[in-house]
Structures are given as C-alpha cells and as structure tokens.
Amino acid sequence: MRSGTSRLRNGQHSWDVPLSALAPAGEPANLPVANGRTEPIVAEDQSAPRLPSAASGARPQTHGFSRREFLRWAVAATAVTEFTLAFLPRLGAALQEAVKEYPLVWMQAAACSGCSVSVINTIHPSIKNVILDQILPGHQIFLNYHSTLMAAAGKLSTDTAIETARKNKGKYVYLVEGAVPTLDNGIYGTLGEEDGKPITMLEWVRRLAPDALAVLAVGTCAAYGGVAAAKPNPTGAKGVGEVLKTLHISTPVINIPGCPCHPDWFIGTVSRVLLYGLPKPKELDEFGRPKLYFGKTVHNRCINRDYLDEGVFASHFGEAGCLLEIGCKGPFTYADCPLRQWNSGVNWCVNANAPCMGCTEPGFPDAHSPLYQRR
C-alpha cells in the first residue's frame, strides 16, 4: 500500500488524492466527468519548470530572495515553454554584464494604475527585488521615476526624470502606462509642473521618447489606447506608438498589452531588452508584441477545447462547456494566459468560468463589445 498524496489534474481541476487510491504505476485510471464520460487522470509532471505559486504549495517569500532563486525564476517567468534550463548559465552571465547600464523612467498617463498594481504585486521575485537592489549585488535596475512609487514629489521628481534622460541618452528605458491624451495639445493628461504650468503627458513623450533606448508601452491603454480611448474618447487618447508616429519619433516601441499587463510579461520583456538589447523584428508580432508571450491564441491552449470539439457550450455563467456563446474572445486573442495563469499561477479567466474578453488585443474594449455576447 502506497502512503502520501499525489496532485492530480483533470482539465481545469486539480486536487490531492491518497496514493493508495491511484491505479498501479503504468496503468491508466479514469475519472467520471460530465455527460457520463470518463477521462484519464494524470499526475502533474513535477520535473517541469514551474513558477512558484500558491497553487503549488510554495509559500510566498518577502525576504532573502537569493540570486540562485531569481535566476531559476527568470527562466521560468520569461520562457515557460520556449527555452530550457540549459539557458540558465548564459542568463546569469548576461545579467551580470547588462543590468547596471539601464535606468527606467515609468510614467503614468491616462490609466487606472492597474498595470502598476499588477506588476508591483509580483511575488516571485517581488518588485523590490527586481528594481531596487537584491537581484545581483552591485548590479541594479534603476527605477528612477515612477509617480506612484517614488518618494520624491514636485520639482525634485520632474527634475529626476529630465536628468535621467539627459545623462543616459540612448541607454534608458522609457515606460509608459496608460494612453496619451492628444486633444487640445494634450491638456487632459498632465504630470508635474514647470514654471507653474502643467507638463502634459504628450510633452513628456515628446521630450523623453527620442533619446530612450526603447519605449515600453505597458498595458493595453499604452499600447493601443484601450479603455482610455474607448468611445467617445473625449480626450483624444491614443496608444504611445501611434503618438510617436504622429510626432515623427523613431524610437522602437515594444507593446506589452493586457488589462492589466501580466507581471511576467513586463519583467520578461524588460529583462530581454536589458540583457540582449532590442528584440529582432521577427520576435515581435504585427502589433508590436513579443511573440514569446503573445504568439498563440488563448483558444489554442484553452482547457475547454474538448468541450468545443464536442459541441458542448455554456449558455450561462457557471455552466460547464466552452464559453464561446457567452462572449469568449479566446479564438482571436493572443496571450499565454492558459499556460502562465495569473496571481502567481493560481488561476486565469476561463478557468474561473469567465470568458476571455480579449484584453490584449488592439480592438479592446470597443471592438469586443458587448463583452458577454458572441461575436
């Protein structure tokens, strides 16, 4: 008789069962599911690299994040599927070479701050470990400006942003969260003052984007306009890439959409830029997103594909079945949510019986509305 428990998975469900209840090794066991069918149950592959998560039983750590732990996490976070652990030594060497060179300036425009909250809530590693000091001794990413996180205020804070750009031409990463209001010369979105006059976000982009190594548009509002640009869009809000085109600024833009942006997508992309420079064109899709995270549709990896194939559709929330009829936009939404999941791997939209709303797509939300009806 075997003792202990094993984590079992069946479609979207997983649970612990006594080993004694399992079929002998090598023999399939079957589990009754909906419609009188049975499906094989399989033990999770414990050898596969995984993000530490509450679901996996790992306890979130807030102190003492070691370099070794970070490197292990970085591999898992940035490349859950595409790379192997053979990449680890190269990543460590590259981190030591590259991280110290690039300050970050993070500005929030027409946004709800949800992307900041999402990224700050990363558990492994904590945002403190990522951007302040404990990743590699002596090698830091400098978050020189973030209007929500920074202690400085007023002139001191705006001077910091300006000085960072002046001293680090071609070396700093300029992050924009939220869309950029453009109507009436951008007066509907301002950040700080100069000579008693508000500085518009449009003006900040005009000043800081040209000399940046890259502009990172964090979240769907920054990437494509998103919620801030939804009809009737009274402020003329636009994605930062579109604004750069209007201003004839040629600095490369990398879009990391999502409403909000997933912390892994953000940290993985920043790491990619700092370690290896700008992504090659073939690494981005037609909407400027890293294919590493946005290369396949949600539908492609969805846990409900069996239901779809068998024609089982949910007609209301909570009913088992593919969520297409109640508005799922997974078939034309590119993101790795089914694989990566949210809240440190705890769950994701469809697994919580909520249709994918297509939050990473350029048309979100107008083109996807009504959100809970089939398109």
Annotated catalytic residue within 124, 146, 259, 368 = 259
Q: Which of 118, 304, 341, 344 binds ligand SF4 (CB under 6 A)?
A: 304
Taking the C-alpha atoms of residue 151 and residue 175, their distance in angstroms, rounded to an integer, is 18
Phi and psi (nearest 5°) for 8?
A: -110, 150
Binding positions for ligand SF4, 269-298, rule CB under 6 A: 298
Q: Does 349 bind ligand SF4 (CB under 6 A)?
A: yes
The footprint of ligand SF4 on this chain (CB under 6 A) covers a number of residues equal to: 23
Residue whose entry in the numeric block shows the structure tokens 């799922």: 328
Characterize the bridge pairing of strands 38-43 and 29-32.
antiparallel
Q: Does 308 bind ligand SF4 (CB under 6 A)?
A: yes
Beta strands (DSSP E) in 136-234 are 142-146, 173-177, 180-181, 190-194, 197-200, 214-218
Taking the C-alpha atoms of residue 229 and residue 112, their distance in angstroms, rounded to an integer, is 13
- In degrees, rounded to 5, the angle at the alpha carbon of residue 173 between the alpha carbons of residues 217 and 276 is 100
Burial track 342-368 (b if 16+ CB lie within 10 A, e otherwise): bebbebbbbbebbbbbbbbbbbbbeeb
- Closer residue to ligand SF4 (CB): 80 or 302: 302
Residue closest to ligand SF4, measured at CB = 330
Annotated catalytic residue within 221, 261, 262, 368 = 221
- Closer residue to ligand SF4 (CB): 80 or 208: 80
- Closer residue to ligand SF4 (CB): 72 or 262: 262
Q: Does 371 bind ligand SF4 (CB under 6 A)?
A: no
Shortest Cβ 313–ligand SF4 spacing (Å)? 8
Annotated catalytic residue within 261, 262, 302, 368 = 302
- Select from 25-33, 39-47, 136-144, 345-353 the region that touches ligand SF4 (CB under 6 A): 345-353
Q: Does 127 bind ligand SF4 (CB under 6 A)?
A: no
Which amino acid type is present at position 361?
E
Q: Does 107 bind ligand SF4 (CB under 6 A)?
A: no
Question: How many other CB atoms sit within 10 Å of the CB of residue 102?
Answer: 19
Nearest residue to 209 via CA among 236, 249, 238, 158:
249
Q: Does 345 bind ligand SF4 (CB under 6 A)?
A: no
- Reply yes or no on whether 261 is catalytic: no
Active site residue ranges: 112, 115, 221, 259, 299, 302, 322, 328, 337, 349, 356, 359
User: Which parts of this chain interact with ligand SF4 (CB under 6 A)?
Assistant: 298-299, 302, 304-305, 308, 322-324, 328, 330-331, 333, 335, 337, 348-350, 356-360
